Structure 1
């Protein structure tokens, strides 16, 4: 853990993150147990209308390695939550772009009518606007129980489009304005990849919200969530059981202590459960087909566990 002190960027030591329970230095690896399933995420599929420069899940118009989840598959997990009395509060959706999934509206209807809060991560572009009418009906019926989290990587057009591609800014801003004008509960997901401080980013977003007439507080960490960058090729410390006190956090603070994600791989007969939104492709992190099977210890055996969660203090739930 001594190498947590900031150092020049270097490639990940190939000896690290090899053994599930032991670090490269032979120390016991830290792990996290699911204490309560507060949030259940669904990956709606990896297809997206954009090809971003650095997408941790490699979404694109051609990547269907994680296929569309169906309404029936989502409902089966909602049934399990209720049958097992897990007390889950929020059902969240990420992609890909969720609104490319043809079942997205009936999925949201099923979630909201059962009394859950719903969180949807979207780029607020054409796929969302194509279903604007039924989406507005859901908002009018369920109000603030539906939250739309819009991916605006930076407060400036140039930097945002460096990541998301040309002509990605204006449609996203129009989508954000439409959601705001129609009373949707919205928040923004930005990214700390420009070298600016948290304060500088929030100041920039505050100016953007004022300029665009968006009634949001950039200093509210729930309304504007700024995620650390993730690059699993770069070196990062492994987290040992002795690290918790040193880094000032604890296992129960980590995302995998309160959430799980359901994915469906291309060609698979059924979905599977993984610990969180960040580890969709690693078979060793599959925890079974059911939520009940996923109530098990998760070793923090991936660079994202260290950089994003433990050291970055981030959570996809906001």
Structure 2
């Protein structure tokens, strides 16, 4: 990307209320809080080339959230009657967090579905983690879903993203999940110029060869994420774009989900509008779901999220990306 293009992109998203050409920036109100995401910390056992929050073995910008801190949000959901049905866990690598099995236990015992995003590598394959997962699977069945990041169905492109040797280790981890009856989903990427049809066909062949319980043409079973380059030139989203694109604000991820993170040095976790904006302090909505519901400031209008980041346009509105199924499904 040229310096001129980068400058234009930054100028585009400089004003939270107005686009570069003066139009009112689109906003997304919270329609129905269906999924609460918890970031378990940015520490990860690998460093992927294009990780959107730069997780790595040394990055602890988001520290491990504790079991008690996560439970406080589960308490708030119950006390205030939030219509949450799913708790999602992402990282970093969630299974590096020492409280991961405990947080899953609390989630499932309270009747929520749990979705864990993992790379399927060594942290998940430790005996203690395996024993904990098997115990949860035995009691709670398919309410626990493990989504494994398999960036491509070929060794070449997957390892290009995640490092040499990770492809076959990820297959081994997913084989273990499948052999033990877990509900599984796969997350891939669309970085290599393939059509979605071509990508799903490639995954279908791999899935069949491994006998995994994943359906290649099901967008929830095999999730294909667009690239998330915050510096790439992308159009801004205005109020008028909804009609042009034949979309509704209620279809966006931030209409049905919120994200909990704990930043290094902070006393308490904070609520964010989504999983993609962890490194932008202005998107902090408060420390509780109640505070987030009425957040008002630079990036919010009485809890509605102003689409003032390139990810909002590229990933969600134009890319059709969502980390879980929308609330109306």
Q: TM-score range by the shorter chain?
A: over 0.9
8 Å CA contact retained: 1:228, 1:312: yes
Flag the 1:116–1:12 CA change in 2: closer, same or farther, 3 A.
farther
Moved more, 203-212 or 94-103: 203-212
Instruction: Determine if the alignment matches structure 1 residue 305 to structure 2 residue 312.
Output: yes
Residue ranges of structure 2 left out of the alignment (5+ in a row): 294-302
| Aligned residue number for residue 254 of structure 1 | 252
In structure 1, C-alpha distance between the alignment counterparts of 2:76 and 2:253, rounded to whole Å: 21
8 Å CA contact retained: 2:147, 2:185: yes
TM-score by length of 2: 0.93
Deviations 1:262-287 (A, max 9, x none): 00000110000000001001011000
In structure 2, C-alpha distance between the alignment counterparts of 1:12 and 1:60, rounded to whole Å: 28
| Aligned residue number for residue 38 of structure 2 | 42
Of 79, 97, 101, the residue aligned with 1:101 is 97
By how many angstroms is 1:134 displaced? 1.1
In structure 2, C-alpha distance between the alignment counterparts of 1:115 and 1:28, rounded to whole Å: 41
Query: What secondary structure is seen at the aligned counterpart in 2 of 1:195?
Result: coil
In structure 2, C-alpha distance between the alignment counterparts of 1:216 and 1:118, rounded to whole Å: 17
| Aligned residue number for residue 157 of structure 2 | 159
Query: What secondary structure is seen at the aligned counterpart in 2 of 1:276?
Result: coil
| Aligned residue number for residue 17 of structure 1 | 13
Query: What secondary structure is seen at the aligned counterpart in 2 of 1:15?
Result: helix
By how many angstroms is 1:19 displaced? 1.1
| Aligned residue number for residue 3 of structure 1 | none
Instruction: Determine if the alignment matches structure 1 residue 139 to structure 2 residue 146.
Output: no
Of 282, 289, 292, the residue aligned with 1:291 is 289
Deviations 1:152-187 (A, max 9, x none): 000001100000001111111000000001000000
By how many angstroms is 1:314 displaced? 1.3
Instruction: Determine if the alignment matches structure 1 residue 227 to structure 2 residue 225.
Output: yes
How many residues end up aligned between the 2 structures?
310
By how many angstroms is 1:117 displaced? 0.2
Instruction: Determine if the alignment matches structure 1 residue 209 to structure 2 residue 201.
Output: no
Runs of 4+ in 1 over 3 A off after TM superposition: none
| Aligned residue number for residue 262 of structure 2 | 264
In structure 2, C-alpha distance between the alignment counterparts of 1:214 and 1:38, rounded to whole Å: 27
C-alpha RMSD of matched pairs (Å):
1.1
8 Å CA contact retained: 1:12, 1:234: no
Query: What secondary structure is seen at the aligned counterpart in 1 of 2:11?
Result: coil
Of 275, 278, 281, the residue aligned with 1:280 is 278
In structure 1, C-alpha distance between the alignment counterparts of 2:23 and 2:197, rounded to whole Å: 37
In structure 2, C-alpha distance between the alignment counterparts of 1:82 and 1:202, rounded to whole Å: 39
8 Å CA contact retained: 1:12, 1:233: no
TM-score by length of 1: 0.96
In structure 2, C-alpha distance between the alignment counterparts of 1:216 and 1:281, rounded to whole Å: 33
| Aligned residue number for residue 6 of structure 1 | none
By how many angstroms is 1:12 displaced? 5.7
8 Å CA contact retained: 2:184, 2:213: no
